[in-house]
Amino acid sequence: MGATEDGDANFSAEVALESQAYWWHDKYRPRKPKYFNRVHTGYSWNKYNQTHYDSSNPPPKIVQGYKFNIFYPDLIDTTKAPSYKIEPDGSPNAETCLLKITAGPPYEDIAFKIVNKEWEYSHKRGFRCTFERGIFHLYVNFKRSRYRR
């Protein structure tokens, strides 16, 4: 989770999923997990923005990545880590998508609407997908688009 960095902001664009009956709903009461999410924004200093903007008049901020911290303290089967899946959300021009996270009993699935960009899966670039001490960490940065003529 760490300290708040420059360019990070709270993020809670949770999407309501259709209610479903889980195979374990008669044994455990389904509940939503708690979460603490951040969105990383910043400036893209590409050739166009360097020409038309400067540090006193910066370009608009863009989303550069997300940090999801989802708490599962009472997870029944701790040997199975929560998993995530990216699904289309039917938005025009496919600008956004749904990030659906599934954990298992007694927690319901949770989904967030995020920007639909290609992910940087390199650990060196900040990707992290771990489940430790009851907390699911998913840190994602987007690939930078290089300007070409």
Q: pLDDT tens, 9-41?
A: 666 667 666 666 555 555 667 788 898 888 898
pTM attached to this predicted model? 0.78
Tens of pLDDT, residues 59-116: 999 889 999 999 998 888 878 889 899 988 877 888 888 899 988 888 888 988 888 8
Q: In this predicted structure, what is the pLDDT of residue 126?
A: 83
Q: In this predicted structure, what is the pLDDT of residue 124?
A: 84
Asked whether the predicted pLDDT for residue 4 surpasses 60, the reply is no
Tens of pLDDT, residues 117-147: 888 888 888 889 999 988 999 999 998 877 6
Domain ranges of the chain: 8-142
- The full DSSP string for the chain is --PPPTTEEE---EEPPPP---TTTTTS--BPPEEEEEEEEE----HHHHHH-BTTBPPPPEEEEEEEEEE-TT-S-TTSPPEEEEEE---GGG-EEEEEEE-BTTBPPEEEEEE---EE--GGGT-EEEEETTEEEEEEEEPPPPP--
Q: In this predicted structure, what is the pLDDT of residue 70?
A: 92
